[in-house]
């Protein structure tokens, strides 16, 4: 698993990470809701990341690592621990035996990474165009779009251990990738950087890929809401959770059941509403609270349970809730 190890907790004072207090999180997530982080850090290097983890251990604080905030719902009471918002934004390109490798820090957005690659005639990641998120968050959930999974491009990564601050270089097998699944979900390690094996092309091929990126974004914006949402709120069902069949296959798609109960564009609580574009996407119309969104999601669960006997479970991460708020 570990190819290299290094402990980087020692630091000179001028390089020490700053720990801030009572920082609002509502402007740092796509729903635009939630309270404050009791403690907040924005490490700009792996060394500072390790220092932030040291601080959390020394003060017995719960840790939440925040990316672009695209797949989370933060409690209105905020987060009573340390929010680490990595600003590791370096991108490097290397070549070996004719292959192109792009390494990006955990804080780089997928959008910026795709643009950087296309500007250098490197293609592959444009398949994920229009999906909000950082490299850290995208590796965490194994970002996917139709038949493409981010794991298909990863050759290695650097992760930092929560309990020691030691950085390890790991291969793709270490992540145990699956659909919306990786070892990082265990929250014993956090991503520092990831390296992707991509393809170098000529100007014409790069222009074609750029056009494909634009078309993918146009397609996504037509099908899905593009702001004040976490994307899909509920995960698809596992095959053993459902009995309904379609074309000799288990109907696992949660949006099918949500469409059938007629909530799209209609069901709302306060300023939270089910999107008219997609029945599995909840939208803040402007003044919704996280409590509104939870009440809306819980109502959706109850309606599906009443009609089909199954309960949708969230794909959206619920952050800072003292008790689990859904069914």
Tell me the HSE value of 284 on the side-chain side, using a 13 A CA sphere: 21
Domain extent listing, the chain: 5-84, 91-223, 239-319
Distance of alpha carbon 49 from alpha carbon 165, whole angstroms? 8
Structure tokens at 216: 């993918």
Structure tokens at 139: 């590796």
What pairing do the DSSP bridges indicate for beta strands 36-41 and 19-24? antiparallel
Contacts of 177 (CB under 8 A, 6+ apart): 142, 149, 151
Cβ–Cβ contacts within 10 Å for residue 267, how many? Answer: 18
Give the per-residue pLDDT at 7.
42
Return per-residue pLDDT of the chain as tens, 327 residues.
343 444 444 444 458 999 999 999 999 999 999 999 999 999 999 999 999 999 999 999 999 999 999 999 999 999 999 999 999 999 999 999 889 999 999 999 999 999 999 999 999 999 999 999 999 999 999 999 889 999 999 999 999 999 999 999 999 999 999 989 999 999 999 999 999 999 999 999 999 999 999 999 999 999 999 999 999 999 999 999 999 999 999 999 999 999 999 999 999 999 999 999 999 999 999 999 999 999 999 999 999 999 999 999 999 999 999 999 999
Of 103, 71, 69, the closest CA to residue 89 belongs to 103
Domain 5-84 fold is 3.30.43
* CATH architecture for the domain at 91-223: 2-Layer Sandwich (3.30)
Give the per-residue pLDDT at 5.
45
Structure tokens at 174: 């270490």
Q: Which CATH class is domain 239-319?
A: alpha beta
- Contact between 190 and 160 under an 8 Å Cβ cutoff? The reply is yes
């Amino acid at each position: 698993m570990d190819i290299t190890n290094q402990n980087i907790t020692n630091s000179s004072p001028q390089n020490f990470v700053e720990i801030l207090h009572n920082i609002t999180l509502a402007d740092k997530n796509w729903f635009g809701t939630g309270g404050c982080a009791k403690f907040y850090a924005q490490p700009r290097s792996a060394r500072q990341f390790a220092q932030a983890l040291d601080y959390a251990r020394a003060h017995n604080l719960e840790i939440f690592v925040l990316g672009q905030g695209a797949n989370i719902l933060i409690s209105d009471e905020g987060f009573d621990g340390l929010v680490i918002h990595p600003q590791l934004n370096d991108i490097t390109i290397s070549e070996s035996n004719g292959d192109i490798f792009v390494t990006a820090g955990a804080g780089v957005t997928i959008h910026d990474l795709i643009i950087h690659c296309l500007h250098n005639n490197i293609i592959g990641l444009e398949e994920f165009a229009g999906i909000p998120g950082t490299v850290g968050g995208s590796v965490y959930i194994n970002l996917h779009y139709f038949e493409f999974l981010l794991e298909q491009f990863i050759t290695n990564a650097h992760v930092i251990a929560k309990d020691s601050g030691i950085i390890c270089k790991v291969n793709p097998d270490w992540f145990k990738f699956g659909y919306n699944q990786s070892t990082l979900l265990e929250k014993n390690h956090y991503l520092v950087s990831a390296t992707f094996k991509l393809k170098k092309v000529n100007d014409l091929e790069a222009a074609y890929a750029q056009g494909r990126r634009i078309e993918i974004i146009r397609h996504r914006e037509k099908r899905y809401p593009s702001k004040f949402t976490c994307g899909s709120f509920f995960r698809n069902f596992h095959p053993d959770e459902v009995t309904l069949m379609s074309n000799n296959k288990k109907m696992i798609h949660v949006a099918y059941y949500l469409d059938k109960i007629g909530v799209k564009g209609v069901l709302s609580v306060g300023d939270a509403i089910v999107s008219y574009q997609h029945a599995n996407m909840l939208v803040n119309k402007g003044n919704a609270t996280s409590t509104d969104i939870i009440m809306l999601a819980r109502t959706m669960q109850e309606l599906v349970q009443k009609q089909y006997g199954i309960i949708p479970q969230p794909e959206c991460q619920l952050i800072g809730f003292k008790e689990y708020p859904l069914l």
